[in-house]
Structure 1
Amino acid sequence: MSYTAWILLTASLVGLSCGIIGVFLILRKTAMMADAISHTVLLGIVLAFIVTREVSGTAMLIGGILAGLLTAFLVQALHTLDVQHDASMGIVFTTLFAIGVILIATSIGNAHLDVQHALMGEITFIPFHTITLPIIGEIPQATAMLLFVFLVVLISIVAFYKEWKITTFDPALAASLGIPVLLMHYVFMGLVSVTTVASFDAVGAIMVVAMLITPAASAYLWTDKLSLMIVLSGGFGVVSALVGYWIAAWIDTSISGSMAFATGLVFLLSFIFSAAHGLIAKRMKPEIGT
């Protein structure tokens, strides 16, 4: 595959994985947890690097997942102490992210890990760091990791689709049916964390947040059916990646930033033209009583 094709495939995998997970974040009304976890995984990545001296691989995934779960646990703990949920997220993610930034400045040294890298990623360097896999052959390491994470997310959602659906829309009913709601919550936060970590090195925190929230919000405007919403959200993530790359090549600017901008364009078009909840559709509906 060509240099450009690897970048597009990698970004598309980010869009697919984040799009699928993002639907449940939107429906659970915890969209800003994506922002929180996308920042706090930095602490897990830094701690994993301090232990292993590597900025990729299994250790990074484990560190990021643990940081994401710690974020979810601390937010829930503060909320049980009567701290507002949004305030809890703000307190936790700014504190843990700040610790990560401080550790980068004081303990990392000259390693290829800095705040700019954390925010914007290094998607243009993806094709140069390759590994060899059986059958597939040589493939960029970040692409291989994202492919693995996408399969994990897809299998998890499909295998436990009914459980995710019930715990998302009616946690009380789920608990009465014997479904472990709290366990499902932390498993879901684990999926958010692993998706975020896998995407982090390639595209940075800004695009991860954009891909987790905006395609799902766009899909929510088009349909009320969960399965279709998941498909649309993943599709919007891929479209945003492709359009964003074209914008970046056209005006010679940040690829990750352009892809994040493209998610906003997709949402704007959905907001205006959606047949279900779009602005035009609402204006065309006859007034009740007329």
Structure 2
Amino acid sequence: MIEVLFVLIVTALAASLLGVFLVLRGMAMVTDAISHTILLGIVIAFFITNDIRSPWLIIGASLVGLATVYIIELVSKTELIRQDAAIGFVFTALFAIAIMLVSKYAGNVHLDMDVVLMGEVIFAPFNRIDILGFSIPNALWQLSIILLINIIFVTLFYKELKVTSFDPKFAYIAGFSVAFIHYALMTLVSVTAVAAFDAVGSILVINFFVAPALTAYLMVKRLGAMIGLTLVFAVLNSVAGYCISFYFDLSVAGTTAFVALITFMIVFLFNSKGFISSRIQKMQQKKAFSRAMILMLMSEQSHQSLTREEIMSHFNLSTRQFNRHIDHLLINEYMEKDEERYMLTRRGEEFTHYTRLKYELPA
């Protein structure tokens, strides 16, 4: 159904917009912590209401999600342990408390962990709400409001978010309210995460927070461009994941997360500064350096005419390496061959002269 796609897109936009600043601040895995600790809020709210369908379960999950963020900050501010260790400690502790409460006092109650933590977006259209005479999925309505709030927040505090994300110490000296911006951002992250968990599940929400922003970060360095590209990747991953899952009858959440991985890997490997591109660039630089060294050697008075064996011996080149370098230099007219000896051409002499001047090398 097209409504499932709309829920996916709105969720992706709401999460990825804030995910940009989580990635820049090195706090991407805070969403992973929230995805586990919300179970404690659900359990406590269930004990109070005794109703597994009560909306208070979502409210309880949101409050515990906020508490998780604040406790992580409190622990990490002591500077006794690193922030990543604080995240691991806090979320495992709160999650363990929730598991103990469930096993001790709610063993006979069906708390559907697959829906709470894993989720399935195809069920979202079944929970509906009437707005101005139109029946729409409740998740779409809630997440649309959250998306609007997130857009307003980022628009109003764009400058503050930019400065505090890149240089919090300078932001503090410059008079920015670093604490307010940070806790406002993390509050919105928590609320967005909990609302999105209810619609699409924790795995996909963590993916939406992190994957589009990380992919965009590999391609651009300006914040405005990164935000725009992040939103593009969020929509692209959602549409592609939905279409592929629908065609092959797969899990929408799992397929969408996998598409995000594929998108990230393509950018990681093949963008201008990607893994493969950088390896190719280094290989090309190494070849260019070797060819320059051959030309520099031949520009010396005592080596103006060299044989194949002399060049190979001097640079310890294999036959394949020699042929590759010399063929390139001959084709580009940096050197010429006279019988069995190689000599610089006019162009080769100009190249070596320019290189010596550029790097201030002795003649």
- 1:31-76 deviations in whole A, cap 9, x for unaligned? 111211222223223434444436475x455433322221122222
1:204 aligns to 2:201 (yes or no): yes
Which letter maps to 1:181? V
1:213 pairs with 197, 210, 213, which one?
210
Aligned to 1:107: 106
Q: Alignment length, in residue pairs?
A: 283
Instruction: Give yes or no for contact 1:69–1:186 (8 Å, CA) kept in 2.
Output: no
Instruction: Give yes or no for contact 2:39–2:61 (8 Å, CA) kept in 1.
Output: yes
- 1:98-148 deviations in whole A, cap 9, x for unaligned? 33344455338556x42111232131111111101126x211111111111
Q: Secondary structure at the match of 1:152?
A: helix
Instruction: Give yes or no for contact 1:41–1:193 (8 Å, CA) kept in 2.
Output: no
1:134 pairs with 132, 135, 141, which one?
132
CA pair 129-234 structure 1, distance change in 2 beyond 3 A: same
Instruction: After superposing the two structures, state which structure 1 stretch, 44-53 or 159-168, moved more.
Output: 44-53
Instruction: Give yes or no for contact 2:65–2:194 (8 Å, CA) kept in 1.
Output: no
Tell me the distance in 2 between the aligned counterparts of 1:180 and 1:107. Answer: 44
Quote the sequence identity (%): 40
Give the alignment of 1:77-226 within 5 angstroms. 77-79=74-76, 80=78, 82-105=80-103, 106-107=105-106, 110=109, 113-134=111-132, 137-226=134-223
Instruction: Give yes or no for contact 1:50–1:108 (8 Å, CA) kept in 2.
Output: no
Tell me the distance in 2 between the aligned counterparts of 1:108 and 1:182. Answer: 41
Instruction: Give yes or no for contact 2:35–2:117 (8 Å, CA) kept in 1.
Output: no
Tell me the distance in 2 between the aligned counterparts of 1:145 and 1:56. Answer: 16
Aligned to 2:275: 279
Q: Secondary structure at the match of 2:201?
A: helix
TM-score by structure 1 length?
Answer: 0.89
1:267 aligns to 2:264 (yes or no): yes
Which letter maps to 1:117? V
Tell me the distance in 2 between the aligned counterparts of 1:156 and 1:108. Answer: 42
1:236 aligns to 2:233 (yes or no): yes
Which letter maps to 1:96? L
Tell me the distance in 1 between the aligned counterparts of 2:6 and 2:86. Answer: 36
Instruction: Give yes or no for contact 2:13–2:231 (8 Å, CA) kept in 1.
Output: yes
Q: Secondary structure at the match of 1:253?
A: coil
Tell me the distance in 2 between the aligned counterparts of 1:108 and 1:222. Answer: 49
CA pair 203-108 structure 1, distance change in 2 beyond 3 A: farther
Q: Secondary structure at the match of 2:106?
A: helix
Which letter maps to 1:230? I
Instruction: Give yes or no for contact 2:128–2:135 (8 Å, CA) kept in 1.
Output: yes
Instruction: Give yes or no for contact 1:74–1:92 (8 Å, CA) kept in 2.
Output: yes
Q: Secondary structure at the match of 1:222?
A: coil
1:247 pairs with 239, 244, 248, which one?
244
CA pair 194-60 structure 1, distance change in 2 beyond 3 A: farther
- 1:145-187 deviations in whole A, cap 9, x for unaligned? 1111111111111111001111111111111122221222111
Give how far 1:26 is off.
0.7
Tell me the distance in 2 between the aligned counterparts of 1:121 and 1:38. Answer: 11
The ranges of structure 1 where at least 4 consecutive aligned residues each deviate by more than 6 angstroms after the TM superposition are none
Tell me the distance in 2 between the aligned counterparts of 1:108 and 1:146. Answer: 32
Structure 2: state its 5+ residue gaps: 290-363
Tell me the distance in 1 between the aligned counterparts of 2:158 and 2:249. Answer: 42
Which letter maps to 2:226? M
1:6 aligns to 2:3 (yes or no): yes
Which letter maps to 1:91? F
Which letter maps to 2:129? I
Point out the structure with max Rg over C-alpha.
Answer: 2
Q: Secondary structure at the match of 2:27?
A: coil
Structure 1: state its 5+ residue gaps: none
CA pair 284-87 structure 1, distance change in 2 beyond 3 A: same
